Structure 1
């Protein structure tokens, strides 16, 4: 799979809540009028009753140098979408493919490097989430503890909130909330930030509000804009990002990390052997 350039649509979806009402109107045009024949800035200005300068500011807020680059990438992403869906299985597979493509478009490699550095310098990591996000948090704990990181996962709302009391400058708190609205997760991130801990939020919602108490906001693709979003596990985009972070972290010192992972697997196998031989009985 090759990715040459980033797609416009996932950027609009992720930043949507941070847009002004005028900017949301512009975003809605591109999200809902994908069969439009004329995307010229003049046509858009007349249709939406906004100035060309407002449109130019909008595309720059989305990370593009100008409207020409923005519309080029937008039309290119539309041309790459396969519209003929033969059956439900293909629909699901195509939706997974779309989520992967959107993840690439949202991924910030410099940010991933910064998060990896935080994992390397903090003494204790707490990852938390509820529901499907909680399951992803548990998976993250399972994977990273095998390569030597002191990490715990929290999925109970009360335990998440209580953890704030124990945060300090040596803590790294990773909150997972696809909607960006889980009160317990946001509470822990806010309190931890005030106590000097490093904080990271993994979410599909881009909001300036999160920057007030999060050192890093990692954007993931969202299912809510997908035609078949209700049949795709909400964990999937979270797990993709966890895999990316995990792979990059291992890459820093591959031999040592893989040796540690092998040691943990060997410890588990020795337990199985111990129980199979009956010596583990009380």
Structure 2
């Protein structure tokens, strides 16, 4: 199922700036008009070049303006739609198909958002840190714990705790030799922001995993690995964003594991041996 261009723009809107934001705002404000516009017509309407339009559609995940234009035939969902593109008359197969499609789109959009340089920087910081801390509140704690569980298989000294007070204590004990992976879908959770301020006060390198690159968390972070999702309202968008954030953690683990090579393999073998001894 092709993802609606309207939905993609709404999902990424907070991450756009300059000409991209100008184009996005025009499209969202004129949903009926833009459906019949050529690339030149849209460029004239927004007062930008056709090359700018072409770069915009590729940055939001479409291979060409034609593909983007065809996606605009999907009706834009009202802001009060609880589950994004799922309609009241959808049958079981349609609902499940759209859920899976949302996950696929979240993964592909997130992949396109993160440049290679960011992966390289994050990997280098983690490999060279004294301690790696994972932080997340509520649903984001699931992603943080997943990362911790993965990194136990590497030589990296990792720590994570689900309790907020313990996380704050954990942040107090970290130093400028450490790295913190802080997860928050909205980037606005007050407890997460308090923890992040403590980390920054200790000069800890903060890598934020969030869907909102203009959020308070993103602005405090030293590096942002943005996740995105298909859904267009915050009540449901974290469903697909969770998959994207888990993929980010898996990617970081794999990058670090591969770079540390034999050290990682030994730990993985030791852990596998210990776990095998607990089974019949």
TM bracket, shorter-chain basis: 0.7 to 0.9
Counterpart mapping for 1:50-65 below 5 A: 52=47, 55=48
Distance 1:204 1:44, change over 3 A: same
Which stretch shows the higher mean deviation, 244-253 or 217-226? 217-226
- The root-mean-square deviation of aligned C-alpha atoms, in Å, is 3.7
Which stretch shows the higher mean deviation, 100-109 or 74-83? 74-83
Counterpart mapping for 1:105-144 below 5 A: 105-144=112-151
Are the equivalent residues in 1 in contact too, given 2:209–2:225 (CA < 8 A)? yes
In the alignment, is residue 91 of structure 1 matched against residue 118 of structure 2?
Answer: no
Are the equivalent residues in 2 in contact too, given 1:119–1:172 (CA < 8 A)? yes
In the alignment, is residue 258 of structure 1 matched against residue 265 of structure 2?
Answer: yes
Quote how far apart the aligned CAs of 1:78 are.
5.3
Q: Which residue does the alignment assign to 1:147?
A: 154
Q: Which residue does the alignment assign to 1:279?
A: none
Quote how far apart the aligned CAs of 1:163 are.
2.9
Q: Which residue does the alignment assign to 2:87?
A: none
Unaligned runs of 5+ in 2: 59-63, 75-89
Counterpart mapping for 1:114-263 below 5 A: 114-207=121-214, 209-210=216-217, 212-225=219-232, 229=236, 232=239, 234-263=241-270
Are the equivalent residues in 2 in contact too, given 1:133–1:177 (CA < 8 A)? yes
Quote how far apart the aligned CAs of 1:10 are.
5.1
Task: Kindly provide the CA deviation profile for residues 76-114 of structure 1, in whole angstroms up to 9, marking residues without a partner as x.
Answer: 34557997x962232222222211221222122210111
Q: TM-score, normalised by structure 2?
A: 0.74
Distance 1:90 1:12, change over 3 A: closer
Task: Kindly provide the CA deviation profile for residues 31-61 of structure 1, in whole angstroms up to 9, marking residues without a partner as x.
Answer: 5738611144655665xxx6x2xx56xx9xx
SS of match in other structure, 1:136: helix
Bigger radius of gyration, 1 or 2?
1
Task: Kindly provide the CA deviation profile for residues 172-222 of structure 1, in whole angstroms up to 9, marking residues without a partner as x.
Answer: 111100111112222222221222211111000011754653110110113
